[in-house]
Amino acid sequence: MNDEHPPVPRILTIAGSDSGGGAGIQADLKTIAVLGGFGTSVVTALTAQNTVGVSGIFEVPPDFIAQQFDAVASDIGVDAAKTGMLVTPRVVRLIAQKIVEHRIPCLVVDPVMVSKSGDALLSGEAQRTILEALIPLATLVTPNLPEAAVLAGMPVRTPDDTRRAAERILASGVRNVLVKGGHLEGHQAIDLLYDGETFVEFPSERIPTQNTHGTGCVYSAAIATLLGHGHPVQEAVRQAKAFITTAIRHSLPLGRGHGPTNPCAWIEWT
């Protein structure tokens, strides 16, 4: 692997492909490019989806997933990586193995479990494997409230619940937990970062729009890219929160369902 003074941070996204372009690999690569990183990818699944829902999932064979990972990491190199849709326990364990094997220095885990339209994207066994095998390797895990409830094994409905859930998730071995508060009620969307010692809140205006497809993907890809630039976790989250808020504010009314957020808005509106 060539690690000598890369001209830009090398950011690897390990996720599913979204044929509608609003989430997954497609959204990640847009985000990484806008924030000045060089994006590479390991595609774990192909999805037939649009703004209305997911109509099909084709799982990439694990051997080919491994081949993609080895090809990128052994030559181009990886300064930071993020995971999204991983589909099966076997794939989760494989990715965890490759993270260790290639000594990936910085990992953001977006525990993708359900699509914006409500379609299940991860089996219960795969969810448990993420908690046990992958999250302990992560620099940061970024669950929304339903995902935090699964990972923490408790209901998460209030701000106090988010703190207790963050503490439980951190106990699994991850270094930092960011519980996203978009599902809570209120005029602000408040995300909560916990590093084992301090809780830090990241509030933003709640923007009234149904065009939020890909929000978690864009947010986690932004954090990974900013970590790849060398920012500390708290600063990376702060900047990524501003990035995703801008992407939601200038989201795109495409399709008949949940339209996509707009990572490229960062270029035009900031």
Tell me if 111 sits within 8 A of 143, measured CB to CB.
yes
Task: Decide if 82 is catalytic.
Answer: no
The confidence score (pLDDT) of residue 120 equals 61
Catalytic: which of 215, 225, 245, 261?
215
Q: Which residue in 216, 228, 241, 246 is the catalytic one?
A: 216
Percent of the chain past pLDDT 70, that is, above it, reads 95
CB-count exposure of residue 104 (10 Å: 0-12, 13-18, 19+) = buried
Question: Which of 30, 180, 181, 261 is labelled catalytic?
Answer: 180
Residue among 182, 138, 143 at smallest CA distance from 166: 143
Q: What share of the chain in percent tops pLDDT 90?
A: 84
The span from the CA of 21 to the CA of 19, in Å, is 5
Measure Cα distances from 167 to 38, 199, 237 in Å: 33, 10, 18
pLDDT at 2 over 60: no
**pLDDT single digits (tens) 73-108:** 999 999 999 999 998 999 999 999 999 999 999 999
pLDDT tens per residue across span 193-229: 999 999 999 999 889 999 999 999 999 999 999 999 9
Strands of the sheet containing 177-179, edge to edge, are: 54-59, 38-49, 10-18, 80-83, 107-109, 140-141, 177-179, 188-194, 199-205
Specify which residues 12 forms β-bridges with.
Answer: 40, 81
Find, among 6, 29, 34, 4, the residue nearest to 18 by Cα. Answer: 29
Q: How far apart are CA 148 and CA 13, in angstroms?
A: 21
**Which CATH number is 10-269's, of 3.40.630.30, 1.10.8.60, 3.40.50.720, 3.40.1190.20?**
3.40.1190.20
Q: Is the dihedral of CA 9, 84, 57, 127 positive or negative?
A: positive
Active site residue 88: no
CA-to-CA distance for 159 and 74, rounded, in angstroms? 43
Q: Are 23 and 82 in contact (CB under 8 A)?
A: no
Answer yes or no: 217 catalytic. yes
Choosing from 21, 24, 84, 214, the catalytic residue is 214
Out of 212, 245, 246, 261, the active site residue is 212
Residue 216 annotated in active site: yes
Q: Is 214 a catalytic residue?
A: yes
Question: Tell me: the pLDDT tens digits for 126-184?
Answer: 888 999 999 999 999 999 998 999 899 999 999 999 999 999 999 999 999 999 987 67
* 257 assigned to active site: no
**Does position 270 have pLDDT exceeding 80, yes or no?**
no
Considering the candidates 16, 21, 181, 217, report the single residue annotated as catalytic. 217
Other CB atoms within 10 A of residue 169 CB: 26
Position 173 scores a pLDDT of: 96
Output the average pLDDT for the chain. Answer: 93
Query: How many whole angstroms from its chain centre is CA 268?
Result: 24
- DSSP of the chain: ---S--SS-EEEEEEEEETTSSSHHHHHHHHHHHTT-EEEEEEEEEEEE-SS-EEEEEEPPHHHHHHHHHHHHHHT--SEEEE----SHHHHHHHHHHHHHTT-S-EEE----B-TTS-B-S-HHHHHHIIIIIGGG-SEE---HHHHHHHHTS---SHHHHHHHHHHHHTTT-S-EEE--TTS-SSEEEEEEE-SS-EEEEEEEPP--S--BTHHHHHHHHHHHHHHTT--HHHHHHHHHHHHHHHHHT----SSSSPBP-TTHHHHH-
